């Protein structure tokens, strides 16, 4: 289980795919970016699955149905059933169903994935605030227009309970980082002054939905975002692996507060196939990993030694997180990271 105040990345003597029974994988920025698969993802996950690890795909993107996501993954060479896909739309639909009458109408401002999830819970999606909805819910939809956002604002202004599948401000796409559902939620918040109930990562409804649907006993959360994937694992009390193929940079990782510190860190999904090295504390208060040692001197992170860049980053995490205690580390890391090419 995750430490509440992690001071260094964790050690795992076995391959992560052997030490954990289920991988709870984020999609955008981990397996693919938009419509393009991320390098090493398919081969690594195939090997992990062949070794006995159950693969479950957990996404905050509520725009598509599990069937659609499963078809895309299968097309990438990762045979996937719809039951192996858990979306924030499913989590928010369960959350809403627990607070409104059975068969209630819900103003759905989002894509087909959101509508399907609502129907699975016996709720009726509608399109207008004039349809007397019992709730209004927002989920990501790349073609969402002003009129639908306005309908959400009208309903929230009338006191209709407001829900959001997730509040990710950004989403990785092939051409770069684009606005996410959180940016659209902020539009309605600006117009109404309201605050929605949120189901997706890092909130607990998403973790609960995932555990219910996968039956995971020793799960490992794998993601690219500190404020959703890693914080979600922290909130759920489970271990996590950060991969540097999406949103999070090495500098952001070093400055992470406790709830954003992963158990493990690796370059990409190949990290699932091997052990994780020890980050040890030295007598002088520094930290070592493989051939590297890191410490804080004169309010700057200093890195000595040589070896694989990821081991240097792990050592830097130990120095930065320990210096920060339970808050963010202000130590300058620019020179140390430049030496690693990160």
Task: Tell me which residues are annotated as active site.
Answer: 26, 28
Helix or strand holding residue 41 (H, E)? helix 41-50
How many CA atoms, within 13 angstroms, populate the side-chain half-sphere of residue 7?
11
3-state SS of 114-155? Answer: HHHHHHHCCCEEECCHHHCCCEEEECCCCCCCHHHHHHHHHH
Closest by CA position to 286, among listed 316, 264, 261: 316
- The Cα 263–Cα 90 span in angstroms is 27
CA-closest candidate to residue 1, choices 235, 268, 254: 235
| DSSP for 230-263, written as a single string | IHHHHHHT-EEEEETTSS--HHHHHT--GGG--S
**Residues 15, 174: Cα–Cα separation, whole Å:** 31
Q: How far apart are CA 329 and CA 312, in angstroms?
A: 17
């Amino acid at each position: 289980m995750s430490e509440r105040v992690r001071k260094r990345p964790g050690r795992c003597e076995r391959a992560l795919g052997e030490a954990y029974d289920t991988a709870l994988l984020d999609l955008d920025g981990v397996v693919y970016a938009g419509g393009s698969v991320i390098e090493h993802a398919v081969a690594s996950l195939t090997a992990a699955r062949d070794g006995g690890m159950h693969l479950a795909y957990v996404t905050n993107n509520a725009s598509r149905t599990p069937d659609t996501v499963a078809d895309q993954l299968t097309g990438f060479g990762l045979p996937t059933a719809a039951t192996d896909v858990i979306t924030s739309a499913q989590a928010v639909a369960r959350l809403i169903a627990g607070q409104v009458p059975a068969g209630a109408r819900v103003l759905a401002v989002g894509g087909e994935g959101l509508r399907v999830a609502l129907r699975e819970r016996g709720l009726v999606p509608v399109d207008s605030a004039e349809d007397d909805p019992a709730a209004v819910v927002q989920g990501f939809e790349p073609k969402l227009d002003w009129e639908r956002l306005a309908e959400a604002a009208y309903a929230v202004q009338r006191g209709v309970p407001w829900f959001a599948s997730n509040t990710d401000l950004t989403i990785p796409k092939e051409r770069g980082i684009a606005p996410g559902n959180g940016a659209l939620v902020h539009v309605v918040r600006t117009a109404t002054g309201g605050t929605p109930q949120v189901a997706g990562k890092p909130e607990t409804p998403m973790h609960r939905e995932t555990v219910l649907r996968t039956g995971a006993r020793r799960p490992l959360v794998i993601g690219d975002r500190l404020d959703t994937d890693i914080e979600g694992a922290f909130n759920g009390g489970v271990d996590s692996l950060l991969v540097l193929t999406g949103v999070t940079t090495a500098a952001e990782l070093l400055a992470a507060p406790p709830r954003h510190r992963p158990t493990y860190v690796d370059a990409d999904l190949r990290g699932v196939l091997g052990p994780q090295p020890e980050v040890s504390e030295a007598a002088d208060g520094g930290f070592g990993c493989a051939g590297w040692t890191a410490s804080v001197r004169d309010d700057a992170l200093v890195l000595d030694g040589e070896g694989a860049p990821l081991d240097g980053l792990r050592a830097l995490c130990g120095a930065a997180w320990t210096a920060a205690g339970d808050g963010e580390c202000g130590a300058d890391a620019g020179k140390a990271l430049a030496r690693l090419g990160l």
